[in-house]
Amino acid sequence: MNSLLLTGGRVIDPANHLDAVVDLLILNGKIAAVGKDAATKAPGEIERFDAKGKIVCPGLIDLHVHLREPGQTAKENIATGTAAAARGGFTSVVCMPNTSPAIDNAGTVALIHERAAQHGVVNVFVTGAITKNIAGEELASIGSLKRAGVVAITDDGHCVQNNELMRRALEYAKMFDLPVMDHCQDYSLVTDGVMHEGYWSTVLGLRGWPSAGEEMIVARNILLAELTGARVHCQHLSAAGSVALLREAKKRGVPISGEACPHHFTLTDAAVSGSEKFWGNDGKILAKFQNGEIPEWPAYDTNFKMNPPLRSARDREAILEGLADGTIEILCSDHAPHCDYEKEVEFDYAPFGITGLETELALSLMQLVHAKRISVPDLIAKYTVNPARLLNLQKGTLGVGADADVTVFDPDREWIFERDETASKSSNSPFFGWKLKGRTVATIVNGKKLWIEQAELAPV
């Protein structure tokens, strides 16, 4: 019957301004009661879960995930990607449309919904492409995509370079009440860069990718959001200038928002030079969180190649400040799996991207909560109510009557992320072997326990 009583946990629900040690009752897949009297409303034979010493919160939402289905299932598929999400504590994921074929029509949206219903173990929401085939030349049928059930439109993995076309996309999106999520990259500035343009790109002899390549499009999006009134969300921000632009625009009331990924506020471009030099250059930043316990890695490790690239220590600090002061409202992974053989090439030729669903909660806790930059409720809000509001999802709350999507985690649990423990098809993560602090204890979707510590349970 999908019923469960969670007892003794610290229940944090930012959507309802709740932070207290109380019980949580789930009946028939819905939240039935939250409070010290919840146990009195439970049937006598109900299953109980002892959450004492743990944090109980709304199911976490990751609004930036690449599930690679259809067409790229050697890297990941809906079954493995959602299994990785469950291990990471995520009950809902939003998949990006840069698949093969791209999700630019109602038929492909229907296919994803069907596959997710058959093989997904967490909730899967779908984004549609802004342009046909994500080519940046002709608008996709935005109204048709809306009717098919997409929650946003984006050309993620690509960026619309034509400003007039982007303006029309925003106007259509506003008509259909769809947010537009944009991968901010000016191709004429970035050209063929493979890592952040700065000291380390010069030392390593790699083509540089200037921060201005991101900041230029963030500025463009702010101007277009102000012009059209459409909601624009800037994806995976990495540059200090982007944070400054976003902060100023939000003060003016522009309908603009942004997200950050843990790799951008944990690592810097020095990581590409190898662990020894990385430790010497920016290691003090990490040492206070990890007691100096990081594994070794070689220079030019392609698992440190992502889009946008790892940036300087100054940029990293600006992202952290933006998260702390609320300029950046949402956290996500940009989970981007690739096959081993694709990454095992020269740095120049490797694809951009890393996996992240299983490590993002721990890294966020370490860099934000344990570092005393933000509170636990603020962190949870960035993974629950904030993305739910942006995408108009009926998720991210423990209100009575809501779907019983619940995450239970221990913020102080120390563990090591091992390669053979990942549920993803791919293993392109730079964090294997790292000592992490904070781990999911249980992931519950519609009242069903999908993940309990290290034992994965098949959905009923």
Return the CATH number at 34: 2.30.40.10
pLDDT tens digit sequence for 1-36: 689 999 999 999 999 999 999 999 999 999 999 999
Rounded to an integer, what distance in angstroms lies between the CA atom of residue 380 and that of residue 331? 9
Judge if 233 and 254 occupy the same domain: yes
Q: State the Cα angle at 237 between 233 and 239, rounded to 5°.
A: 135
Judge if 95 and 209 occupy the same domain: yes
Judge if 242 and 364 occupy the same domain: yes
Share of the chain above pLDDT 70, in %: 95
Give the pLDDT confidence score for residue 397 in this predicted structure.
98
Give the pLDDT confidence score for residue 276 in this predicted structure.
72
Give the pLDDT confidence score for residue 293 in this predicted structure.
64
18 is a domain residue: yes
Q: Is the pLDDT of residue 277 over 90?
A: no
Instruction: Return the number of other C-beta atoms located less than 10 Å from residue 50's C-beta.
Output: 11
164 burial class (0-12, 13-18, 19+ CB within 10 angstroms)? exposed
Per the structure, the count of domains in the chain is 2
Judge if 113 and 91 occupy the same domain: yes
pLDDT tens digit sequence for 197-246: 999 999 999 999 999 999 999 999 999 999 999 999 999 999 999 999 99
366 is a domain residue: yes
User: Which of 241, 248, 259 minimizes the C-alpha distance to 387?
Assistant: 259
452 is a domain residue: no
Rounded to an integer, what distance in angstroms lies between the CA atom of residue 17 and that of residue 12? 8
373 is a domain residue: yes
> Which single residue is written with the structure tokens 């096959």?
339
Q: Active-site residue numbers? A: 334
Judge if 69 and 217 occupy the same domain: yes
Share of the chain above pLDDT 90, in %: 90
User: What is the domain extent for residue 310?
Assistant: 59-392+405-439
Give the pLDDT confidence score for residue 86 in this predicted structure.
97
Contact assessment for residue 237 and residue 249, using Cβ atoms and an 8 Å cutoff: no
Q: Is the pLDDT of residue 291 over 70?
A: no
Mean pLDDT is lowest, of 43-52, 269-278, 290-299, 445-454, for 290-299
Rounded to an integer, what distance in angstroms lies between the CA atom of residue 150 and that of residue 94? 10
Judge if 2 and 151 occupy the same domain: no
How sure is the predictor about 458, in pLDDT bands with cuts at 50, 70 and 90?
Answer: very low
447 is a domain residue: no
147 is a domain residue: yes
Judge if 155 and 44 occupy the same domain: no
How sure is the predictor about 288, in pLDDT bands with cuts at 50, 70 and 90?
Answer: very low
Task: Please state the rounded mean pLDDT for residues 346-360.
Answer: 98
123 is a domain residue: yes
Cα dihedral angle (410, 413, 417, 422), rounded to 10 degrees?
Answer: -30
How sure is the predictor about 130, in pLDDT bands with cuts at 50, 70 and 90?
Answer: very high
Give the pLDDT confidence score for residue 457 in this predicted structure.
44
Give the pLDDT confidence score for residue 295 in this predicted structure.
81
Judge if 46 and 79 occupy the same domain: no
Judge if 319 and 370 occupy the same domain: yes
Return the CATH number at 252: 3.20.20.140
pTM of the model: 0.95
Give the pLDDT confidence score for residue 459 in this predicted structure.
39
454 is a domain residue: no
Judge if 288 and 386 occupy the same domain: yes
Task: Please state the rounded mean pLDDT for residues 248-266.
Answer: 97
Give the pLDDT confidence score for residue 45 in this predicted structure.
87
Judge if 74 and 163 occupy the same domain: yes
User: Which of 51, 43, 64, 25 minimizes the C-alpha distance to 390?
Assistant: 64
Mean pLDDT of the chain: 94
Give the pLDDT confidence score for residue 283 in this predicted structure.
47
Rounded to an integer, what distance in angstroms lies between the CA atom of residue 97 and that of residue 65? 10
Rounded to an integer, what distance in angstroms lies between the CA atom of residue 409 and that of residue 404? 16
How sure is the predictor about 282, in pLDDT bands with cuts at 50, 70 and 90?
Answer: very low
Give backbone dihedrals phi and psi of 251, rounded to 5 degrees, phi first: -65, -30
User: Which of 454, 209, 200 minimizes the C-alpha distance to 307?
Assistant: 209
Judge if 37 and 67 occupy the same domain: no
